[in-house]
Amino acid sequence: MTHEPLSLLLVDDSRIARLSLKRQLESLGLSLELHEADSADSAEEQLQQHPVQVALIDFNMPGRDGLELAESLKQQYPQLRMALVTANIQDALAKRARELGMTFLPKPTTAEQLRAFIQQDL
């Protein structure tokens, strides 16, 4: 029995942050198909070309922030599972993320946190 890889989008304006997340995800040994975007607009373009099941979204980005992107994606892709991955760990931000149905993952993330988020509801 073969399993389809889990398709995942990394959204962060920092190439280094995306690389770090990518390395952590690859260390999990899961079957993943990774896509990357460096802005909210780029993320929406990626999703039109490559539908994904999971998105890891940074908060602080030029243009629209991660919560603005999440609001838009929630309307367009209601089944998309999203996590806000940010070093900005204000309670109000975490609360707003949860209100949007997002998981809140503080940076720096750990591979264990990523595994727990990815594997929930699978």
Give the model confidence (pLDDT) of 65-111 as tens digits. 999 999 999 999 999 999 999 998 888 999 999 999 999 999 999 99
CA distance 109 to 122: 21
The answer to whether residue 96 sits within a structural domain is: yes
Domain housing 35: 6-119
Query: How many domains, in total, are found in the chain?
Result: 1
Q: What percentage of residues in the chain have a pLDDT greater than 90?
A: 89
The answer to whether residue 100 sits within a structural domain is: yes
The answer to whether residue 48 sits within a structural domain is: yes
pTM given for the model: 0.94
The answer to whether residue 57 sits within a structural domain is: yes
pLDDT at position 76? 95
pLDDT at position 121? 64
Using an 8 Å Cβ cutoff, are 111 and 28 in contact? yes
Using an 8 Å Cβ cutoff, are 5 and 33 in contact? yes
Element (H, E) at 108: none
The answer to whether residue 1 sits within a structural domain is: no
Read off the pLDDT of each residue in 12-17 and give the average, rounded to a whole number: 96
Joined together, the tokens standing for residue 20 give: 């770090």
The answer to whether residue 103 sits within a structural domain is: yes
The answer to whether residue 31 sits within a structural domain is: yes
Read off the pLDDT of each residue in 5-33 and give the average, rounded to a whole number: 95
pLDDT at position 1? 41
Q: What percentage of residues in the chain have a pLDDT greater than 70?
A: 96
Residue 89: CATH number of its domain: 3.40.50.2300
